[in-house]
């Protein structure tokens, strides 16, 4: 918590600021846009006189002003509906802000403790649960997958080779096991034919065990350890964690990560559905409320499916790669543990491995490698990120990004309720650039955490 001497701001900014001469034109445009979109026409958030709610707190007026402006501008321009930004430095909060709406149609302002569908931010929690077991000697990075999942024998990528593929636990963390995601393959591919669930769409009653059986029938894309392909590997890792711990994945997550962190609002089902944010998707002129399910077209005939109701359905299987629900403060507790050599959850020697680019020398022009289910920034200039080399980062398709910059002692969590711009839009870069102006990247120093 901040001390009483730190200032708190509550701002209300007009959603539109048209010049007087153009007010009539702006009003006409807005009416036409609303008529063209029944969903938007019903949204009270699009009134000309509407305001954007914002609450923020910081010991640094310059940082507070800069991040407030970033949050308000992204909402005003129609990139986001709502977001929470948390920034910690050397273990203490230097900015906490919530802007926009948790539910635009209900005019419910965003708030710090709001719950979000984490999507791939879940992977960091799953990695730390695996790290906890490795630290206890209950899981081994080099051990074969079959040591923990004896009945799970994925097909060799060479279909003429009858032998099972030799996947190690480390390949699940680095996404080099040879698996795929359904939304990454063409329509009619093996994952589609076998109806393999990815943890983001509804599993339609399929259990984690049944999903693994289906996954084992799909040939691997490559020999384990030879190629990075973002995939359902974290879901398989979740099953391994459950087996190694001897409890369900939700119980293992609770005991290994959540309780040690002092987190009470995180789980595979929303703990308090009143706090669960309404999800939105990109649309013009403003994001629209997600349908159930919601489809996103990508390359060719590839389609990503999101099922917002999954977060409130206890019948869905616990997905270690996409299924957690949490708040920004709880995510920040995890990030602080990651940045602080495991925070007592994972042994520092294990974290030293997790901090590395584990797929090197398979470098790409993006300036980022990949480690323990998160990216490792190897070249900030090439990555176009205002962070230090070695920064860990990842995001989530529902609209999130996180960063752990150990060189500057910084942890940053940006959670939004808007896909896909919350993930891939301008918000993350603007936030990082605003922080860098106050805490320059050039000021790198040894980690003091």
Just list the catalytic residues: 120
CA distances in angstroms from 126 to 137, 234, 288, 319, listed in the order given: 17, 7, 31, 9
Q: What is the residue-wise DSSP string for 41-107?
A: HT-GGG-TT-EEEEEEEES-HHHHHHHHHHHHHHHHTTS-SEEEEEEEETTEEEEEEEEEEEETTTT
Taking the CA atoms of residue 379, residue 436, residue 327 and residue 51 in that order, the dihedral angle to the nearest 10 degrees is -130
Taking the CA atoms of residue 124, residue 253, residue 261 and residue 80 in that order, the dihedral angle to the nearest 10 degrees is 50
- DSSP annotation of 119: G
| 295 strand-pairing partners | 305
SS3 (DSSP) at 394 = strand
Angle between helices 122-136 and 328-339 (to 10 degrees): 40
The candidate with the shortest Cα–Cα distance to 416, out of 436, 437, 435, 395, is 395
Residue 184 structure tokens: 């990454």
Question: What radius of gyration do the chain's Cα atoms show?
Answer: 22
- DSSP annotation of 184: G
The contacts of residue 273 (CB under 8 Å, 6+ apart) are 312
| 14 strand-pairing partners | 51
Residue 23 structure tokens: 């007010």
- DSSP annotation of 355: T
């Amino acid at each position: 918590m901040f001390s009483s001497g730190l200032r708190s701001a509550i701002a209300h900014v007009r959603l539109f600021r048209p010049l007087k001469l153009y007010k009539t034109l702006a009003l006409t445009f807005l009416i036409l846009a609303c008529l063209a979109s029944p969903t938007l026409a019903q949204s009270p958030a699009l009134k000309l006189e509407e305001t954007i709610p914002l609450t923020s707190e910081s010991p640094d007026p310059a940082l507070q002003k800069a991040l407030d402006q970033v949050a308000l501008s992204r909402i005003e321009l129609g990139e986001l509906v709502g977001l929470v930004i948390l920034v910690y430095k050397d273990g203490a909060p230097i900015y906490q802000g919530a802007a926009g709406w948790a539910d635009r149609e209900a005019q419910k302002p965003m708030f710090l403790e709001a719950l979000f569908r984490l999507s791939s931010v879940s992977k960091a929690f799953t990695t730390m649960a695996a790290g906890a077991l490795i630290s206890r000697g209950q899981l081994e990075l080099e051990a074969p997958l079959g040591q923990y999942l004896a009945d799970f024998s994925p097909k060799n990528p060479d279909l003429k080779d009858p032998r099972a593929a030799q996947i190690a636990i480390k390949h699940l963390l680095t996404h080099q096991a040879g698996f795929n995601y359904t939304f990454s393959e063409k329509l009619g591919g093996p994952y589609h034919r076998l109806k393999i669930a990815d943890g983001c769409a509804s599993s339609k009653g399929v259990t984690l065990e049944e999903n693994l059986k289906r996954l084992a029938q799909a040939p691997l894309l490559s020999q384990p350890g030879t190629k990075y392909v973002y995939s359902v590997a974290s879901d398989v890792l979740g099953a391994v964690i459950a087996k190694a711990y001897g409890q369900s994945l939700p119980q293992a997550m609770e005991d290994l990560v959540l309780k040690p962190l002092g987190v009470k609002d995180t789980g595979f089902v929303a703990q308090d559905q009143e706090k669960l944010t309404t999800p939105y998707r990109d649309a013009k002129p403003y994001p629209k409320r997600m349908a159930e399910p919601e489809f996103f077209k990508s390359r060719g005939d590839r389609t990503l499916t999101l099922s917002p109701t999954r977060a409130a359905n206890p019948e869905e299987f616990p997905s270690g790669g996409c299924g957690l629900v949490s708040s920004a403060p709880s995510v920040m507790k995890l990030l602080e543990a990651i940045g602080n050599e495991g925070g007592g959850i994972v042994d520092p020697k294990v974290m030293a491995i997790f901090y590395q680019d584990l797929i090197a020398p398979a470098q790409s022009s993006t300036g980022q490698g990949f480690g323990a289910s998160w990216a490792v920034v190897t070249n900030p200039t090439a990555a176009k990120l205002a962070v230090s080399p070695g920064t860990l980062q990842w995001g989530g398709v529902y609209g999130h990004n996180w960063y752990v910059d150990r060189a500057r002692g910084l942890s940053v969590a940006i959670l939004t309720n808007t896909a896909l711009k919350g993930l891939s839009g301008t918000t993350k870069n603007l936030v990082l650039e605003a922080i860098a102006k106050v805490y320059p990247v050039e000021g790198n120093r040894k980690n003091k955490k």
